[in-house]
């Protein structure tokens, strides 16, 4: 199955109160983190996502725009959307600042979801070890 169809098959919207564009953004980022989407892979069109999920095209556009701002997607006019290459490693100080922001954001999300910080730390460590062993 082609990657864009694989992604379309896994996308879903839940009635959790979380905005739909945020749910889409997070699901695409999760697919990238899991290796389902790799740099250079073409994304489904915004229209395909909107039709598949029965949501407004502008909602999908909002999610794709957010992903582009994050540097996760590269939007090419007339060609489509592609998974972006990961950025080159940043300077040590910049990496620490980015890690601090991500850690704070992740802890806030975990707290909102009722997940204990030590359990989150355990899962992140396990996932990182799993990724290292698969290299």
Residues 6 or more apart whose Cβ sits within 8 Å of residue 52: 8, 11, 44
Dist. CA 27–CA 58, nearest whole Å: 17
pLDDT digits (tens, 9 = 90+) for 96-125: 888 888 888 888 888 888 989 999 999 888
**2 or 60: which carries more pLDDT confidence?**
60
Q: What is the CATH number of the domain that holds 30?
A: 1.10.10.10
What is the extent of the structural domain holding 119? 92-133
Q: In the listed set 41, 56, 83, which residue is the last one of a domain according to the structure?
A: 83
Q: Do residues 32 and 71 share a domain?
A: yes
pLDDT digits (tens, 9 = 90+) for 69-100: 989 999 898 899 999 988 766 677 777 888 88
Mean pLDDT across the chain: 87
**61 has a pLDDT exceeding 90:** yes
Angle between helices 117-133 and 92-113 (to 10 degrees): 130
Identify the CA nearest to 36 among candidates 25, 49, 27: 27
* The predicted structure's pLDDT at residue 132: 67
CA 114 to centroid of chain Cα atoms: 21
Q: Structure pTM? A: 0.69
Q: Do residues 50 and 99 share a domain?
A: no
If one counts the domains in the chain, the total is 2
Q: Do residues 124 and 78 share a domain?
A: no
Largest CA distance in the chain: 46
Q: Do residues 79 and 30 share a domain?
A: yes
Dist. CA 81–CA 32, nearest whole Å: 14
Q: Do residues 79 and 107 share a domain?
A: no
* The predicted structure's pLDDT at residue 88: 67
Q: Do residues 25 and 75 share a domain?
A: yes
């Amino acid at each position: 199955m082609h990657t864009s169809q694989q992604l379309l098959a896994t996308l879903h919207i839940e009635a959790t109160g979380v905005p739909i564009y945020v749910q889409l953004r997070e699901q695409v980022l999760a697919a990238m983190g899991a290796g389902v989407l790799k740099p250079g892979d073409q994304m489904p069109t915004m229209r395909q996502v909107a039709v598949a999920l029965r949501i407004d095209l502008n909602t999908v556009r909002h999610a794709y725009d957010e992903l582009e701002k994050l540097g996760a997607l590269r939007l090419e006019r007339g060609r489509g959307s592609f998974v972006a290459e990961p950025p080159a490693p940043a300077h040590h100080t910049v990496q620490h600042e980015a890690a601090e922001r991500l850690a704070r954001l992740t802890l806030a999300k975990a707290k909102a979801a009722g997940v204990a910080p030590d359990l989150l730390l355990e899962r992140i460590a396990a996932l990182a070890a799993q990724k290292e062993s698969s290299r």
